[in-house]
Structure 1
């Protein structure tokens, strides 16, 4: 079974602000269960024009800031048990999404290297690190509230499979998915 890590630079005002501090290429992280990235899961904005009202989301990659985004996609092979655990965990977050908030304060404490874990609040890379850890896929050396998208790109179980325009990636994968499969008997 495979899972996918998507790191993006959406070039939004918030992304540019974070980039001023981090100097990182990508400042947003999501996790997906299929190569088409049909439903990438993360913590981010719930409304297109308001980056401050956020929480657990199934990202809509047709939003304008994703259509112009640059990305890096990583793949990881996991066991069936880990996959089922991750699916169950993501389903739980989806069913209880109203109790979670975007951890804007956590971004500030991360930048200041302050150990502050805010209950029921996540920023994107904190969430991805948490679900990877909770589902038994990967154990981090530091707490999830200290994990950045750059840290996720260095997780040794993830193999880079693409870097470039997110729109180009989605178009290429869609074309591959629509090709007829040769059946051998």
Structure 2
């Protein structure tokens, strides 16, 4: 079974601000359970035009900032047990999403290399690292609140399968799925 890691550069004000500090190509991370990225899970903005109202989300890739985003897509082979555990963990966060907030303070403490943990708040890469750990898929050598999207791109279990326009990836994947369905 495969899972998918999506790293993006959405070129929003917040992402450009983060990029000024990190100098990294991608500054947002999400996890998906299928190659079409129909439901990528992350911590980010709940409302398209308000970057400060955030939390656990099933991302809507039709939002304007995703349609113009650049991305790198990675896949990872996991056992059935790990996959089932990941589904359970994501379901738990979805069912309890009102208990969690976006960890804006964590972005600052990450930038300043300050050891600061909030159990009720995540930023995107912190969430992905936490979920990978909780699912027994991958354990980082540092705390999840120190994990960046760039760190996620270096996880040896993940293999990069695409780099470029997110819209082009979604269109190509959609076309491939349609061809596969038509061949049955």
1:118 CA displacement: 1.1
Alignment partner, residue 144 of structure 2: 144
What SS does the corresponding residue of 2:139 show, helix, strand or coil? coil
TM-score by length of 1: 0.98
Counterpart CA distance in 2 for 1:119 and 1:97 is: 13
**Residue 84 of structure 1: aligned partner:** 84
After the TM superposition, which residues 12-27 of structure 1 pair with which residues of structure 2 at under 5 Å, given as runs?
Answer: 12-27=12-27
Runs of 5+ unmatched residues, structure 2: none
Instruction: Indicate yes or no: 2:2 matched with 1:2.
Output: yes
CA gap of 1:180–1:150, structure 2 versus 1, over 3 A, is closer
Structure 1 spans left out of the alignment, 5+ residues: none
Match in the other structure for 1:94: 94
| Bigger mean CA deviation after superposition, 120-129 or 173-182 | 173-182
TM-superposed deviation, 1:180 = 4.0
TM-score, normalization: structure 2? 0.98
Secondary structure of 2:53 counterpart: strand
Number of residue pairs matched? 183
Query: In 1, distance between residues paired with 2:100 and 2:21?
Result: 26
The equivalent residue for 2:46 is 46
- Cα deviation 1:135-185 (Å, max 9, x = unaligned): 0000110000000000000000000000000000000000000004656xx
Cα shift readout 1:21-54 (whole Å, capped 9, x = no counterpart): 0000000000000000000000000001110110
**Cα RMSD, aligned residues only:** 0.8
User: 1:89-141: CA deviations, max 9, x gaps?
Assistant: 00000000000000000000000000000121000000000000010000110
Cross-structure match for 2:64: 64
Aligned equivalents of 1:118, 1:17: Cα separation in 2: 22
